[in-house]
Structure 1
Amino acid sequence: MNTATLRQLEYFVAAADTGTVSAAALRCSASQAAVSTALNELERGLGIQLFVRRTAKGVRLTKSGERALPIARRMLSDARELELLAAAEASEAAGPLRVACTSALSPRVLPALAEAFRAEHPLVDLDLVDGLASDVERMVLRGEADACLLYRRQLESDLDSRTVREVVPYAVLAADHPLAGRDRVALQDLASEPLLLVNPEGSRGVIERLLEEADVSPKRGWAFSNPETVRAMVARGLGYSVFSGRPISLESFDGGRVAYVPLADPIAPNEVVLATPKGQRMTARLQALQDLLMKDSVLEALG
């Protein structure tokens, strides 16, 4: 059968309630011809007769019409409920919100973000996950997450993005490295040492593009999925790395010490971005997310 439209159901209920097509048209602010046509189309689409038409005496429900009327009322009521829900979605920050974040950023931003949501938007059912940059992008593209947080240089997919904060790159060196005490260090000065990277799929491309900007060919070292493994390796003098943003701690996971030294190379700053599907409607929950990401407590956590 053809799907009944809400407009046809509205005219059907109005005609049943008022008893005439003309009165139904007046109630629905439509022409009599439009209501009559819609009722005929509804009957043809359903394959049943809803009314007995009586000249000069209006319309009377058939047995089929009597059975269909409460169903039509429920469908119209559900449609109104849906409209109210949509209105609430647009104006009130409540309901589910899933945010994916790269593993490199998650220790910095997610705790501060979760705390801000709990304080300011307790009705939001916040779900936070982290992973590789490619994974969090795929989650957004597949509708498995509403938004993701990652570095601009990691963004590969066709997503809408908004800059949250610019972050400058640092060379990460062992605390006793000969260059650790400098105000700035050039990547060329480190080119003879192994470059240790945070996971090949998530960050290798980011650092490679950064090195290309500095016109440096690095000596290849290991790559690990966990940033703390990289920091621990650096702390033991097994190579150097490049991280974005200010240091969270100068101590590695196993108790070693590292130093963060700003780069002297003329490299454009990286950006932390919030990425969402192309053309996604701005809900109150997403607006709350954007607003909270601009709070000082969250921005300070990003470095």
Structure 2
Amino acid sequence: MARYTLRQLEAFVAVAEQGSIAAAAGSLHVSQSAVSGAVNNLERVFDAQLTIRRKAHGVTLTAAGQYVLTRAKSLLVEATDLELHAGDAGAELRGSLTLGCYLTLAPTVLARLIDHYGRRHPLVQLDFFDGPQTEVQRRLASGRLDVAIAYDLSLPAGLNRQKLYDAEPSIVLSADHPLADREDLALADVAAEPMILLDVNPSRENTMTMFDAAGMQPNIRFRTTDYEVTRSLVGRGMGFAILVQQPAGGQSYEGRSLVVRPIRPAVRPVPVSIVWPDAVRPSQSVSAMLDLAAELYG
């Protein structure tokens, strides 16, 4: 029989994720002494130091603490699943799921997944976050996201991934651009043209890597962190852009016509994957999202 409790594990995980006893107590709505006592009891049961606590410097985990954190998260997920599904023997999926998505992928991927998932599993409390890929990664690491859709470029260690599809970078021009009547374009064709750079990673990194590999430097006129601003500037003829995701309509937000041309010779496609922490066994609600993503994009 285990000599520790799920409540103690919950307190320890909160300390690890929040970085201090006080912050963990606040997130759990309990006293600091209760959190500290729970961690002390775990260290006594496991006969191992799990944390290093320094005044004004918060809490860091020892190697033993990192190992326990990984196992504790999985145990808590399984315990929650058992409580949610025991009554109907797992016949109806219940619980919660927070899905993250890189912001430029969200308009074409996120709504489809949420719609299908909500129809299939109406008892799951479903929420989402869309934002910069770095913030998506931070929220995954902290446990605020269960699973996320991201470009599979420069992702940190500690993530499992399931590839959904390959996205092809394309050159986007205004409809009246002198090169708009070409069926495809090489990077050399546009290298000297003014460029509107979507200046957020991994989009920026991917674009610059393409030009570096071709031995060229783009002529960047404007930088923007907004996908639709990029397309609007292109629509007004201020430059071209290289974008991976393309909306169904061929117009900018202002209603100006755009054309999308493939890059020849072809550049490396950008894999789009659904990712989740490898330290945590997926809950039933997460597993259902992975199955759905494979079904829709497999």
Give the TM-score normalised by the residue count of structure 1.
0.66
Q: After the TM superposition, which segments of 4 or more aligned residues of structure 1 sit over 4 Å from their partners? A: 3-6, 86-92
CA contact (8 A) 1:173 1:259 kept: yes
Classify the secondary structure of the residue corresponding to 1:189.
helix
CA contact (8 A) 1:200 1:223 kept: no
Q: Which residue in 2 is equivalent to 1:197? A: 197
Deviation of the 1:251 alpha carbon: 0.7
CA pair 245-214 structure 1, distance change in 2 beyond 3 A: farther
Q: Which residue in 2 is equivalent to 1:167? A: 167
CA contact (8 A) 2:194 2:238 kept: yes
Deviation of the 1:110 alpha carbon: 1.4
What is the correspondence of 1:1-303 to structure 2 with a 5 Å cutoff? Answer: 4=3, 84-85=82-83, 93-153=93-153, 155-296=155-296, 299=297
Structure 2: how far apart are the matches of 1:133 and 1:212?
Answer: 22
CA contact (8 A) 2:94 2:285 kept: yes
CA pair 82-184 structure 1, distance change in 2 beyond 3 A: closer
CA pair 84-99 structure 1, distance change in 2 beyond 3 A: closer
Structure 2: how far apart are the matches of 1:137 and 1:278?
Answer: 13
CA pair 121-189 structure 1, distance change in 2 beyond 3 A: same
Deviation of the 1:86 alpha carbon: 7.3
| 1:177 counterpart letter in structure 2 | H
The sequence identity of aligned pairs, in percent, is 29
CA RMSD of aligned residues (A): 2.7
Deviation of the 1:188 alpha carbon: 1.0
CA pair 144-224 structure 1, distance change in 2 beyond 3 A: same
> Any gaps of 5 or more consecutive residues in structure 2?
6-44, 46-78
Deviation per residue, 1:64-120 (Å, 9 max, x gap): xxxxxxxxxxxxxxxxx8683276599553211111111101111111111101211
> Any gaps of 5 or more consecutive residues in structure 1?
7-44, 46-80
Deviation per residue, 1:38-67 (Å, 9 max, x gap): xxxxxxx9xxxxxxxxxxxxxxxxxxxxxx
Classify the secondary structure of the residue corresponding to 1:200.
coil
Deviation of the 1:154 alpha carbon: 5.1
The count of corresponding residues between Structure 1 and Structure 2 is 223
Deviation of the 1:259 alpha carbon: 0.6
Structure 2: how far apart are the matches of 1:245 and 1:211?
Answer: 19
Classify the secondary structure of the residue corresponding to 2:144.
coil
CA contact (8 A) 1:133 1:154 kept: no
